[in-house]
Amino acid sequence: MIIVTGGAGFIGSNLVNYLSKNTNEKIVSVDYLNELNKNYFSSTNTFMVHPTDLRSFLRKFKKEVRVIVHLGAISSTTCNDPNLILENNVRLSMSLKKWCDDNLTRFIYASSAATYGDGNNGFLDSSKFAYLSKLRPLNLYGWSKQITDLNFFSKKINKKQLVGLKFFNVYGPNEFHKDEMRSIVLKIYEKVQSKKSIKLFKSHSKDYKDGEQLRDFIYVKDVIKVINWFINNPKRSGLFNVGSGLPRSFKDVTNAVFRNFNYPKRITYIDTPRNIRNQYQYYTKAEMIKLRRLGFKDKFFSLEDGINDYVNNYLKS
């Protein structure tokens, strides 16, 4: 049995759908359902568990659980409720990790590239305390993931697999429920579809032109490849980046979306809001050497191919 918390979320629902089609194991999704995400699932074989029933479910089926993939969290980078973040992102993660330790069960969890803050300390997926303790996230969400990473990897690795995955800018199917946290790809698509001008932030740095701020974008299908690889490689543990390793600009994303339409390209540059200007990142890049050296060999979608697949096979349909 594989349990996926946050199984009705963006990455979670894609993982549940993939595992339901490609394994013979029972797949359990732990999450809330609403009108937006209840249609995310392509298989009716998935077993659904409400989050409030998770404890009793684990007690009943603890001998059957092979691995927990913990993706459930408050993922909004603008959430300013420390108690909500602490309860959902830190305490729950630590509680599930302890359950896995006590029951000799494998644990794979979602960390985040938000832990890197402004990037001044690089984007190394090192699990060494000396490096992790230097990182300064820029929001509560990033801090919650940073606290969890420090707690898990400053101690002895448990006897079973422990994997933390630092997701970068993920885009792809099943993100409609995320409101303002939806990917820039989806936001641009909706503007282009409505024949509206695309608004990109001006650069307030002499090192970057308007719209050429760089991010590491990764298609959700590639994220699923990485998670599935760790599920199938139980002896591999550690903290790992999950990104393309190839930073691309917001202008590149806009051009890639426009390629799928016959509309003339319209881009307007606006000032970056002052309240986020000092925290704005101009560059992110996932260092992927560690994962590749470990043996992960799958190729990733290019930005253009990923957006083409997302737009034509999911958004337009």
End-to-end CA distance of the chain: 33
Q: How far apart are CA 77 and CA 70, in angstroms?
A: 18
Contacts of 181 (CB under 8 A, 6+ apart): 75, 76, 77
Sign of the Cα torsion 173, 228, 99, 161 reads negative
The DSSP 8-state label assigned to residue 97 in this structure reads H
Which among 26, 160, 178, 290 is annotated as catalytic?
178
The DSSP 8-state label assigned to residue 176 in this structure reads G
Closest CA to 93 of 21, 145, 153: 145
Q: Is 159 a catalytic residue?
A: no
CB 219 within 8 A of CB 301: yes
Q: How far apart are CA 203 and CA 160, in angstroms?
A: 46
Q: Is 141 a catalytic residue?
A: yes
CB 53 within 8 A of CB 32: no
Q: How far apart are CA 263 and CA 265, in angstroms?
A: 6
CB 11 within 8 A of CB 168: no
Catalytic residues: 141, 178
